[in-house]
Structure 1
Amino acid sequence: MEAELIALATSGATTLITLMISDAWTQVKGRVAHMLGRDDDEQDDLLHELDASRAALLHALERGDGTRAATIEAEWRARLLLLLQSDPSLVEELQSLPAPPEGTVYNHISGRVQSGLVIQAGRIEGSTFHAPPDERAGRTEV
């Protein structure tokens, strides 16, 4: 059961973070606070925490700080896991969170610094890639 809770907390945190950076956040954040908070005061506190997390996340993504974005997600994953362990009835509620809107993409790239081309796309169809002509083509050797 523990592995299932960890998987659910991981999935829930990813969904939560993805919703935070989407246009759907304004419609969903009250539901999330209600789900995670037990009384009105706790829900109000959660709304402030969720707004603070969202602001920090957007700021981190704007600066290209993937480490900070991943840390915010990890904090919510740990928090969701603790809540799920203390109240298993949250499983259904967490699973009922709406899927992030189509087209919403959240990527985290970490590791060594690389230089090169990165392409991020939801769908690529009928792509044509052009390469510069080979300067040696057409030359005749004597």
Structure 2
Amino acid sequence: MQTKSYLTLSDAEFLLDTAHQYAIEHNFNVSIAVVDDTGNLLAMKRMDGASPMTANLCLEKAKCSAMSRRPSKLFEDLIKGGQMGFLTMDSFAGMLEGGEPIMFEEHLVGAMGVSGVKSFQDAEIAQQAIEKFLAQIK
């Protein structure tokens, strides 16, 4: 039997707070979601001024990243390249850049999704928070 690492609520709050602080420093109004390795919500934050639709988008991005174990940008690139077949609006929503997997010791422990600014900026916010999180646990 193997031991499994997982995100705690405290971990999710650290990730949210770190991403929130980064967004404030860059004058971004975003929604941020942290999910576990199965794509289920652990914690979420919608900043004042963030569009209501970003709340669902950040969660879908995080879920897509957790379930695929890859950044959601991979799917956005496939869609842009015409390599994805028919998609519903729900399935498409999570396939935009801004979802990032959280890997610890080569295992997925969760994912983070951000929505509210340009897609590459959403991803940047998540990447910065994940990088700081992983640095503080090592």
Shared fold by TM > 0.5? no
Please give the range of the TM-score, normalised by the shorter of the 2 chains. under 0.3
Q: Which has the higher contact order (CA 8 A, sep 6+)?
A: 1
TM-score (norm 1): 0.27
Q: Report the structure, 1 or 2, having the larger strand content.
A: 2
Larger C-alpha radius of gyration, 1 or 2?
1
